Structures are given as structure tokens and as C-alpha cells.
């Protein structure tokens, strides 16, 4: 199984878009996306200095556009991605890139959302001088204790001994003066304390917009930064993405889910390298490829051919409720023939971390229970099959 991953803010580098402009139609496509995003993406991706693309309102649309440009070259037809990928995941803003590749969002919707996300987070960042620092190594519990001591938040828990501290610049300076034993600190090229309560105003703005944003169910599994859960429903994906702006990115749990899924290869979209490094340290048996320039596309196609999911099938006339993570499934009071409302309880899954409720993203009649109470389940495994509710006029509810 192959997983496609997309990096987040901090991965951007000056000129990262330059080699992609040589591909047929790329300049025209980026011209259109520039109109959608309200930014001259070609300028920022080819000529702008590092300090300019550090601006949150610039960096985030540029990252998503670069990832989508590479994905378009790798998958000329949208269905190509759906038939070959086993799952997709993005780190922070990379979740929008992954969702677009998975078919949950159009590129235009993703760029509108990232435009508004970047602007809102830039406004939130301007309210106080804040930033982020990568903490590499050290005892994990000791690192978290030091963060708490200095009033900082673990904005990213990336796995492989990497945590990102976020908070005010004064608190980060005090933390740097007294680092955890055995840890190395590296300030990140970002303009705010992302994924912390400092971003609350950005969440409010995005939540108001997301209510009407066009979204569909993804064609491949999406892994959520919130807890590593497999998400099969577009509206849930978007709700999680909005809430994530002020909540920690648990990339370590996404890596754990990849292991549970039996992933054999990971392909990282540009600006690539960071996430492949984390995968190699956490899942050393998994083959990785960082797509940095069009020169890497042939190798990427070969990787896809070797690890292709080949699992795309026409959408069935029913809905499946699937396991969001691995664990032991406990069935609730779900009866065959009963109508389960949207949000209705299906059961719970007890994992190595905690117990998580499982609910139905769609309402419908229960036509089949696919697992027994007490069965071990894997991420994305079907649990219950529903026949969708039908409105009186005959349209699906």
C-alpha cells in the first residue's frame, strides 16, 4: 500500500516552484490558481526571498499550489490517484493538498480555504509576537515538562523524537536558554504559534466559511492530524481541518496508523523531504520517495506501479461506517433494519491510547453489521453498512 503525503508550513524554500513551470500547461494553471488565491504564485514561487514567503498568508497558498502542481503532473487524470493510492495525509496545511488529491475538495476550493486560512492565521499571529521551535531529541516526557514549565504548547508531535514548541517569542527565548537535556533546538521559519490557542480567531473565521464550502467524500482514505484516524467522509474531514488550526498536529499518530494499515511505501509531494525523513525513522521498512523536482517523476511513477492499491471501484448505493483507528470494537445497540440517525452511535473502539466512540456520518437503515462485538479491527475497516435515508421527493437525504 502506498500513502501520499504533503508537507506543511516551514517546508517552503525560495524558488521551489521554478522547475515545475517547465511542464506543459503549468504556467497557465498557476495563473488560474493565482486568480483564485489572490496571490501571484509564480512570482512568490520563483523570485521571492525567503523572508517574503515566510509570511503565513503567502506560504500556505504557495505550499498547496506547489503540491497540487506536482500531483497534477503525477496523476494527469484525477481517477489515476484514486486507483493507485491506499491513503493520503498532509501535515498541517498539507491536509488541504491531500484532500484535493483524494477528491474531497476541488483545487479551487482548497485554494480558497488555504487563502482564508493563511490570512486569518496571519491576523491571529499579529496579535502577539509568537513563533515555533523544533525540539530534536531528548526524553519525550522531559521535553513536554519543559514546555509546560515555560508556558509553551506542543504544537506538533511529529514522532521520531521531534516535537515543535509554540508560544510567545519571550517564552521561546526562555526555553532556549534552558533547553531539555539532550535536545537540540531549531527555530522554524514561520510567523506565529500555529496549532495553539493563539489561533482561536482563525478557527472562528474558517468555521463560518466551511459551513458552505463544497466538499465530497474522498475516494481514498484520509488520515487526520488530530488523532491519526482514518476519515472517509468529506464533511468530517473539513470540520477536523478547521479545528486543527488551534489544536496540536499529531503526526506521530498518523505514522502509527500507517503502520497499522500495513503501508509499504510513502510518496511526498514538494517541497519534499521532511515527512519522508520522519517516516524513515518511525517506519524503517517502508520505502520512501521525496518528489522535489520533475526529474523525480519517473521514479515516482515506478514507485506507484510497485505499490499501487488498484482498489478503485464505483461508489456503491449504500454507505459504510468504518473504523477510524485500530483497536477492539465494542458494538452498541445497533439492530438490523433499524434507522440510525446521522451522528448515531455505532459503538466504541478501545485502542492502545484511549477509547473512541464510533458514530454514523450519514443516517440510514442498518442492512448489515460486518463485525462482531469484541473483534479486533484495523483503520478503515467497514463496521456497519447503511442504506441512505431518502427524502420524500426521492432525493438522498
User: Catalytic residue numbers?
Assistant: 92, 195
Which grid cell sits at 224? 487526520
Strand order in the sheet with 319-322: 319-322, 382-388, 364-369, 339-340
Centre a 10 Å sphere on the Cβ of residue 396 and count the other Cβ atoms it contains: 11
Omega before 23 within 30 of 0, i.e. cis? no
386 touches 316 (CB < 8 A):
no
CA gap 309, 364 in Å, rounded: 29
Query: SS3 of 168, please?
Result: strand
Backbone phi, psi, residue 347, to 5° = 165, -155
Beta bridge mates, 348: 330, 357
Q: Which residues contact 80 (CB under 8 A, 6 or more apart)?
A: none
Question: Please, what sign has the CA dihedral across residues 84, 90, 96, 97?
Answer: negative
DSSP of 130-155: EEEEEEEES-HHHHHHHHHHTT-EEE
CA gap 328, 354 in Å, rounded: 11
Which grid cell sits at 36? 483564485
Q: Which residues contact 364 (CB under 8 A, 6 or more apart)?
A: 318, 319, 339, 340, 386, 387, 388, 389
β pairing state of 153-159 and 130-137: unpaired
Which grid cell sits at 177? 536558554
Omega before 283 within 30 of 0, i.e. cis? no
CA gap 267, 85 in Å, rounded: 10
Backbone phi, psi, residue 2, to 5° = -110, 135
CA gap 3, 18 in Å, rounded: 26
Amino acid at each position: 500500500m502506498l500513502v501520499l503525503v504533503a508537507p506543511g508550513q516551514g517546508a517552503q524554500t525560495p524558488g521551489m516552484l521554478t522547475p515545475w513551470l517547465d511542464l506543459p500547461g503549468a504556467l497557465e494553471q498557476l495563473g488560474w490558481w493565482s486568480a483564485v488565491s489572490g496571490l501571484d504564485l509564480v512570482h512568490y514561487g520563483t523570485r521571492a526571498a525567503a523572508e517574503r514567503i515566510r509570511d503565513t498568508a503567502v506560504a500556505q497558498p504557495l505550499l498547496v499550489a506547489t503540491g497540487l502542481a506536482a500531483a497534477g503532473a503525477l496523476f494527469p487524470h484525477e481517477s489515476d490517484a484514486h486507483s493507485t493510492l491506499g491513503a493520503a495525509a498532509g501535515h498541517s496545511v498539507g491536509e488541504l493538498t491531500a484532500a484535493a488529491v483524494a477528491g474531497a475538495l476541488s483545487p479551487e476550493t482548497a485554494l480558497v480555504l488555504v487563502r482564508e486560512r493563511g490570512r486569518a492565521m496571519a491576523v491571529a499571529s499579529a496579535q502577539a509576537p509568537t513563533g515555533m521551535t523544533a525540539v530534536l531529541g531528548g526524553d519525550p516526557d522531559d521535553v513536554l515538562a519543559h514546555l509546560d514549565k515555560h508556558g509553551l504548547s506542543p504544537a506538533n508531535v511529529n514522532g521520531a523524537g521531534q516535537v515543535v514548541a509554540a508560544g510567545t517569542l519571550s517564552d521561546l527565548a526562555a526555553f532556549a536558554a534552558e533547553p531539555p537535556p539532550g535536545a537540540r533546538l531549531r527555530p522554524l521559519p514561520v510567523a506565529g504559534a500555529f496549532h495553539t490557542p493563539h489561533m482561536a480567531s482563525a478557527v472562528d473565521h474558517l468555521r463560518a466559511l466551511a459551513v458552505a464550502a463544497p466538499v465530497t467524500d474522498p475516494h481514498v482514505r484520509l488520515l487526520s492530524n488530530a488523532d491519526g484516524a482514518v476519515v472517509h467522509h468529506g464533511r468530517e474531514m473539513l470540520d477536523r481541518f478547521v479545528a486543527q488550526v488551534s489544536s496540536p498536529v499529531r503526526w506521530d499518530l498518523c505514522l502509527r496508523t500507517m503502520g497499522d494499515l500495513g503501508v509499504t511505501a510513502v510518496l511526498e509531494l514538494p517541497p519534499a523531504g521532511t515527512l519522508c525523513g520522519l517516516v524513515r525513522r518511525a517506519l524503517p521498512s517502508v520505502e520512501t520517495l521525496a518528489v522535489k523536482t520533475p526529474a523525480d517523476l519517473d521514479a515516482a511513477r515506478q514507485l506507484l506501479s510497485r505499490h499501487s492499491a488498484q482498489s478503485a471501484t464505483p461508489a456503491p448505493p449504500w454507505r459504510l461506517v468504518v473504523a477510524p483507528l485500530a483497536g477492539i470494537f465494542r458494538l452498541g445497540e445497533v439492530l438490523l433494519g433499524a434507522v440510525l440517525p446521522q451522528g448515531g452511535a455505532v459503538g466504541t473502539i478501545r485502542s492502545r491510547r484511549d477509547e473512541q466512540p464510533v458514530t454514523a456520518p450519514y443516517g440510514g437503515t442498518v442492512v448489515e453489521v460486518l463485525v462482531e462485538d469484541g473483534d479486533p479491527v484495523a483503520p478503515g475497516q467497514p463496521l456497519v453498512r447503511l442504506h441512505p435515508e431518502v427524502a420524500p421527493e426521492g432525493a438522498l437525504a
